[in-house]
Amino acid sequence: MNPAMYMLLYSCKNHPQVKTKRRCRSCARPICSACIYKANRHLFCSNKCHKKYHFITLPKLAGKHLLRKWKALPRGISVRSAITSATILALSGYMIFALIHIKRLESRVTALSYQLALLADTTQAKQKGNASPAKNTETPVVLADNGVMINEQTLNIAGQAKQHSMATLTLGDKMQQSQMITDGSFAFSNLPFPPPGQQYLLRAIDPAKSFAALGDFDAPATPSLSTRLVHDFSRGPATSKAVALTFDGGALANAVAPILAVLAQKNVRATMFLTGKFIETHAQATFDIWQAGHEIGNHSWDHPHLTRYAINRTQQTLPHVDRSFLQQQLTATSEAFSALTGAQMRPFWRAPYGEHNQELREWAAELGYRHVGWTSGQHASESLDTMDWVADSTSAAYHSSEEILQRLVTIAAQQDSSGLAGGIILMHLGTLRDHDPAYQALPALIDKLRGYTYRFVTISELIRATERQ
């Protein structure tokens, strides 16, 4: 093929040096993973192409399809019959649409009633010279003894209020959940942690009193915990000779079996970060990892780029990456893992390609996740990223299994620093190397580090050791 034609067909429109087979659904130009704008289950190169596809291209295609169907009708059919059939189809579609969205309409009506109640209550209070909503002390809302229960990823809020009233839970200016109270008690469970600085607001509304607010109070959402979750965790305490082995699972799983065999033989528990695609594609390998007792964290759904680091070496969030995008990546992966094993992932996530910033970590923290990276020093030689994914032996980033072993042992043996204490080592569950895979160094690495009195721990144990200090 002509080189110029090849470049046109397979080089990213924004990054010509990157080869790709992905194409924009609208303009059909090649796009790499850093340029993808994902919407409505299709890939686009920009929001402009997305809008063009849905408002121009798609209607044209639909029109052509209907025209073909019209021409295919029997010649003897009457116009009245055709119009009647089209009307019936349109009405059927409308009914299906109405059934799908009826729940949304119900929740909007409830929210509107709630907002009108607050507006009326606040107006009445202002007319009395009181800027805050009046409270009815005869029928207060009370928290149960264990009103706010904090799990590792969620919290539960329970309490009592007047029978036949409605309990509502809001965060900021948006209502999160509502519940009719039939037996004098209510409970909201599996609530995500709110962003730092925000709190859940709980109210009860009595329909018999024109939705007058009966009482309100803030349910504490442990802002200190939410704040702590935002911080990147890339090293444990340097005073303890503990080290964590971590493995990322993305596309390949050809190293899972030998890695699990070594860890079982050496009695070492590790922490694995798996993508949803890995779980979906390598279900048996995922089940084996979980059954072996290793910790499993979240590595996103399909390992997307989240920042512009691959483009300009800055950790600026990519335009198409927002709160909904990231949280959907994490939630879908967690649900896939639970569906396979019946268990919950640990509340840790590791950003693909190590691309993260405070904004991304805050969005993940809203779901109860804390970001876990790997330990890196001031120089590349001090990094605990083994770079075992590099398969090209001519690359400067390539390290043989022996070189990986010697570098980590050298760091561990240093007397003038903390060595590997509290360190997090990064390896992978798949490899493209035809020979000398990095996991061959695992048995010797474990033995040598234990010879230097290091002990192997999971990320959970490393975090607990850090919090105790």
Element (H, E) at 363: helix 358-365
Question: Strand runs (DSSP E) across 331-465, as ranges?
Answer: 348-349, 370-371, 424-428, 455-457
Q: Could you give the residue ranges of the DSSP H alpha helices within 349-441?
A: 358-365, 401-413
Calculate mean pLDDT across residues 218-225. 46
Residue 415, pLDDT score = 65
The 3-state DSSP class for residue 19 equals: strand
Is pLDDT of 197 > 60? no
The ranges of the chain annotated as CATH 2.60.40.10 are 142-221
What average pLDDT is seen over the chain?
Answer: 79
* 50-54, 211-215, 275-279, 306-310: the lowest-pLDDT one: 211-215
CA distance 95 to 411: 67
349's torsion region: left (phi>0), alpha (psi -120 to 50) or beta?
A: beta
Q: Are 268 and 246 in contact (CB under 8 A)?
A: no
Q: Topology of domain 142-221, per CATH? A: Immunoglobulin-like (2.60.40)
Is pLDDT of 217 > 60? no
Residue 132, pLDDT score = 36
CB atoms within 10 A of CB 101: 11
Tell if the pTM clears 0.85, that is, is over it. no
Residue 147, pLDDT score = 44
- The secondary structure of residue 57, as a DSSP letter, is I
Phi, psi torsion values for 361, nearest 5 degrees: -65, -35
Q: Topology of domain 227-468, per CATH? A: TIM Barrel (3.20.20)
* 86-100, 141-155, 242-256: the lowest-pLDDT one: 141-155
The ranges of the chain annotated as CATH 3.20.20.370 are 227-468
Is pLDDT of 142 > 60? no
Is pLDDT of 144 > 50? no
- What share of residues in the chain are helix, strand, coil (percent, to 5)? 40, 20, 40
Q: Are 365 and 226 in contact (CB under 8 A)?
A: yes
Tokens of 151: 């799990």
* 21-30, 185-194, 377-386, 387-396: the lowest-pLDDT one: 185-194
Comparing CA positions, the residue from 246, 236, 238, 311 lying closest to residue 442 is 246
* 20-24, 98-102, 237-241: the lowest-pLDDT one: 98-102
Q: Are 167 and 186 in contact (CB under 8 A)?
A: yes
278-337 residue pLDDT tens: 999 999 999 999 999 999 999 999 999 999 999 999 999 999 999 999 999 999 999 999
- Confidence band for 165, pLDDT divided at 50, 70 and 90: confident
Q: Could you give the residue ranges of the DSSP H alpha helices within 195-255?
A: 223-230
Q: Are 459 and 466 in contact (CB under 8 A)?
A: no
Angle between helices 323-341 and 358-365 (to 10 degrees): 50
CA distance 330 to 190: 16
In this prediction, what percent of the chain has a pLDDT beyond 90? 43
Calculate mean pLDDT across residues 425-432. 95
Which residues are paired to 333 by β-bridges?
none
CA distance 103 to 109: 10
